[in-house]
Amino acid sequence: MFDLNVPIASSFLGLNNAKKSNKGKQPVVGNALQYTGPQIAVIEARVDLLIHLGYTAIAFNQTVNKKVDPKTHVNILDILLKQLKPRKEIVYMKRLTIILDEDSEKGFGLINAQTSLFNSYDLISLVPTNQATLALACLTHSLPSPLTAHIISIPLTLPRLPFNLKHTLVRTAIKNGAVFEINYVGAVGGDNDTTMTDANAAENGASAKRNWWGAARELTRVTKGKGLIVSSGAVADLDFRAPDDVKNLITLLGVSQDISHCSVTKSPKSLVLRAQTRKTYRAVLSEPQLVVPDQQMEEAPESIPPAPMVTEDTANSKKRPRDEPSMASETDGSKRKKKKRGKEGGQR
Amino acid sequence: MVRFKNRWLLVEFIPLDQSKPTQSRLDSKQIWAALRDSIQENFGDVGWGCVSHSLTVKYFSPTTNLCIIRVAREHHRIARGGLTLLKSIDGIRLLPHVIDLTGTIKHAQLTAIEHNRRVVARFRARAGTSVSYHDSYDQYLETSNQEIQSLKD
């Protein structure tokens, strides 16, 4: 069972927003940052509880407001994972969430130059807060690349959903492989991650629950249940719920039982797998093998292009492999057909 | 034919601090009241009306925090939802964890007995007592098994 949003506050390590006094001074050296004993104990207790409830794959989440500043950004989760004790059969993952608002429309650090910074995270997600950033997140950032943000987390506890969930945007995002996330902490009435509330992306309080039900229902209506994952987002230990209970909660939003089962099991699993494609070229996971057709065709071996070129062809995976121009003129129809089949057979 | 079908929910209320196995001071009436309040708050009078006639707390064990609740099959989802959205009972903060959802009382009993045994084993492991030491848990297991077996539909 997957819980893909266990927030870890940046304030744990004493790293605060750029507003604070650190700006002028030297950036803190990464090695010096460590979680203290009691902090680790708290996190270990939370993981114990999650395991007791039945979760086996946990993604720790670091939230950043507005944009990622390469100079001051520290991957707190790397430091955390080194200090947590390894558990059998439990998978830990690292996730980065970026809250987008009007200021981030111009750019928020998810650019090619900083790919190395983002490679240390297994999952990237975006929290759009207005129509423009939603469009950005759905269209530009869901395309396969080393910087795809696979998770789009809609803020569900805001008083009025700040944007219309346009059907076309949502459909495109899901077709590209992105996924929309529902955090159930809003329904249970727990507190959200402080970075989110500070950035006005979440609310705690009596009306938060009501907003959650409305917004979540709207989200399930637009996505029709496909491309949905559910995760906790809970900060307090007692706000977590067992995966079956969460499944039941999603059913109450009007989603049918099997789709809600998918959103708790299959969707997060395929999402995690898909997120691994960030480290590959253009979302190709397996390595294609060139199958040389048998030796009846003497000309064929010479005109078959060498292996690297074949790989590049398949890497533009959505397109069919084009015939090499050199082959086209030389051979006759039947041989070309055989070669084509041989090529395609190899790329399967 | 026109048999009245039920669902039996086995719920474990996880307290705030798991390491200290203290006796919980809850009882079944408080649980029923808290569940009723939760359903009324989240699903309104309509939701409570669906469930009210069939909702009963059949068994509760303060030592292992195990509760067996019976609801009608038609609207068991509402009851389970009300349970999930429950945060505290009588001021004590809890985490409701539904261990099992069965259609017959027989399987609910079996799961309950197994759960009790597992929790007692956990307590014993934490206390580090040796295998042959007979502590009060033995007697507790006896009495609780009898109580569970005597549950009727």
Task: Retrieve residue A285's tokens.
Answer: 């996971």
Task: Name chain B contacts of A238, Cβ cutoff 8 Å.
Answer: 14, 16, 87, 93-95
- Decide: A79 and A35 in contact? Cβ < 8 Å: yes
Strand positions, DSSP E, chain A: 2-7, 57-65, 91-100, 123-128, 151-153, 179-183, 228-231
- Count of CB contacts below 8 A, A vs B? 49
Q: How far is B150 from chain A (nearest CA, A)?
A: 28
- Cβ burial of A340 (10 Å; 0-12, 13-18, 19+) is middle
ipTM of predicted assembly, 2 dp: 0.87
Instruction: Specify the pairing of strand B56-61 against strand B6-15.
Output: unpaired
Is the model more confident about A347 or about B148? B148
pTM summary value: 0.75
Q: Which position has the higher pLDDT, A195 or B119?
A: B119
pLDDT at B39 (0 to 100): 92
Q: Which residues contact A335 (CB under 8 A, 6 or more apart)?
A: A297, A299, A300
- What's the pLDDT tens digit per position in B21-60? 667 788 889 999 999 999 999 999 999 998 999 999 998 9
Q: Which residues of A touch B84 (CB under 8 A)?
A: 188, 241, 245-246, 248-249
Average pLDDT over residues A317-327: 42
Judged by CB atoms within 8 Å, which residues 209-248 of A form the interface with B?
237-238, 240-242, 244-246, 248
Q: Which residue has the higher pLDDT, A295 or B71?
A: B71
Which residues, in sequence order, are bridge partners of residue A2? A57
Q: Supply the pLDDT for residue A108.
A: 67
Q: What is the pLDDT of residue A295?
A: 65
Calculate mean pLDDT across residues A134-154: 80
Provide the pLDDT confidence category of residue B8 given band limits of 50, 70 and 90.
very high
Higher pLDDT, A246 or B139: A246
For tokens 């039982």, the residue is A257
User: Distance (Å) from the C-alpha of residue A205 to the closest C-alpha of chain B?
Assistant: 14
Distance CA A44, CA A188 (A): 23
pLDDT of the residue at A283: 57
Nearest to A8 by CA among A89, A121, A100: A121
Cβ of B87 and A188 within 8 Å? yes
Q: Are A246 and A185 in contact (CB under 8 A)?
A: no
* Residue contact A251–B18, C-beta within 8 A: no
Task: State the nearest Cα–Cα gap between A250 and chain B, in angstroms.
Answer: 10
Residues A147, A150, A153: CA angle, nearest 5 degrees: 120
Tell me the C-alpha distance between A103 and A125, whole Å.
17
> DSSP state, A168?
H
Q: How confident is the model at residue A160 (pLDDT cuts 50, 70, 90)?
A: confident
Sheet strands (E) in chain B = 6-15, 56-61, 66-72, 88-89, 92-102
Model confidence pLDDT, tens digit, residues B81-116: 999 998 888 888 889 999 989 999 999 999 999 988
Q: How confident is the model at residue A201 (pLDDT cuts 50, 70, 90)?
A: low
Contacting residues of A for B96, CB less than 8 Å apart:
241, 245
Question: What integer pLDDT is reported at residue B128 of this predicted model?
Answer: 73
Mean pLDDT of the region A241-256: 91
How large a percentage of chain B has pLDDT more than 90? 39
Mean pLDDT over the full length of chain A:
73
Which residues on chain B place their C-beta less than 8 Å from a C-beta of chain A? 14, 16, 18, 77-78, 80-81, 83-85, 87, 93-98, 101
Confidence of residue A13 (pLDDT cuts 50, 70, 90): low
pLDDT of A299 higher than 50 = no
d(CA A249, CA A246): 5
- Report the number of secondary-structure helices (H) and strands (E) in chain A: 15, 7
In terms of Cβ atoms closer than 10 Å to its own Cβ (0-12, 13-18, 19+), residue A26 is exposed
Binary contact (B97, A189; C-beta < 8 A): no
Contact between chains at A245 and B97 (C-beta distance less than 8 A): yes
Identify from A46, A48, A237 which residue to disrupt to test chain B contact, counting B C-beta atoms within 10 A and taking the largest count: A237
Distance from CA of B139 to the nearest CA of A (A): 26
Find chain A residues with C-beta within 8 A of B93's C-beta.
238
First vs last C-alpha separation in chain B: 18
Among the partner residues A48, A246, A248, nearest to B77 by beta-carbon distance: A248
Among residues A112, A127, A17, the alpha carbon closest in space to that of A72 is found at A17
Query: Which pLDDT score is estimated for A16?
Result: 45
Q: Mind listing the pLDDT tens digit for each residue in A35-48?
A: 777 888 888 888 88
pLDDT above 90 coverage of chain A, percent: 4
C-beta atoms of A244 and B95 within 8 A: no
CB-hemisphere CA count at 13 Å for A126?
A: 33
Residue A190: predicted pLDDT: 75
- Cβ distance A341 to A300 under 8 Å? no
Residue recorded with tokens 């790919």: A115
Interface contact flag, A248 B87, Cβ < 8 Å: no
> pLDDT value at position A319?
41
What's the pLDDT score for residue A314? Answer: 40
Q: How many helices (H) and strands (E) does chain B have?
A: 4, 5
For residue A241, which residues of chain B lie inside 8 Å, CB to CB?
84, 95-97
Which of A142-156, A192-206, A245-259 is predicted most confidently?
Answer: A245-259
Triad B72, A185, A135: Cα angle to 5°: 115
A57-61, A81-85, B146-150: least confidently modelled range = A81-85
Query: What's the DSSP call for residue A129?
Result: -
Q: Which residues contact B37 (CB under 8 A, 6 or more apart)?
A: none
